[in-house]
Structure 1
Amino acid sequence: MLVAIPIWELSRRDDLESLGYVLLYFLRGSLLWQGLKAATKKQKYDKICEKKLSTPIEVLCKSHPVEFAPISIIATLTFDQRPDYAFLKRLFRDLFGHEGMIFYPTTYLDKKYENYNQLGNTKTVATTRVKAKTLEAKKSHKVTDI
């Protein structure tokens, strides 16, 4: 949460919290601390920090899927505590399913199709194109404010 202060060492908690903010940004189109004005960069970062600390998660996640609620749990983790990644992945995979989106583990698929392409397997390449078109069609079904 306090990434604007470079003297602190960042942890997995900070990474997940930042990811949560990015996902909220994608949903909202902006974050509450964007556009804050100040005379200096330090003052601006102080304002951003103050806004992040003073904004309850309920306000930040208002009208968004309940899957964003764990952001508050993430903020309570200690520096060296390992987050429950399996739980968080499951939450968002379930959200994708509820919203009719398809989850593709792209790193696995990319490697698989790269291997097929090296063998000259055109059938797989054609299948990949069909899957990509299907995915693009599914992407038009967006997660919107609920």
Structure 2
Amino acid sequence: MLAEQLIGRLEYIHSKSVIHRDIKPENFLMGVGKYGNQVYVTDLGLATERRDAQVKTNTGRARNLYLIGTARFASINGHLGVGLKATDQKQKEELILKEKEMIGIGDLYKDLPAEFAAYFDYIRSLGFNENPDYSYLRKIFRNLFVRKGFDYDYVFDWTILEYLKTTQ
């Protein structure tokens, strides 16, 4: 249920030709009370229009001139836009990039259902100007949801845990 909402929120943002550029757990919040099952996207401070985020290189591939957002959550493609002039921060970003490039999908998600690897493998395969197939991405997690036998009841596990804490 959460994956479906997250993908839907990003699809909406992208449909407005906006790139968030700072995707990390801290920028997604859950509502409270009767909205406790709703995901909200926050911190669009680094967001930009898609056409403004592109800079053509001599290879014809669009790239950022510098890393935007939080290095540990940035994509490999985000890191590839980092320049060669080294400062302490850039050296740190380059090390993070090298670590990310060395980690295989199988190693990163070995303790998770295969659907997580399928999701990130698909995302990593997208070219800069390609739009994700959001229906396919939702389907990956919907199939996992059904396979695990969950009920689409709009109630998250943490909501139940919080309720149980208040009744004890």
TM-score range, shorter chain: 0.3 to 0.5
Q: TM-score, normalised by structure 2?
A: 0.39
| Structure (1 or 2) with the greater helix fraction | 1
| Structure (1 or 2) with the greater strand fraction | 2
Q: TM-score, normalised by structure 1?
A: 0.44
Larger radius of gyration: 1
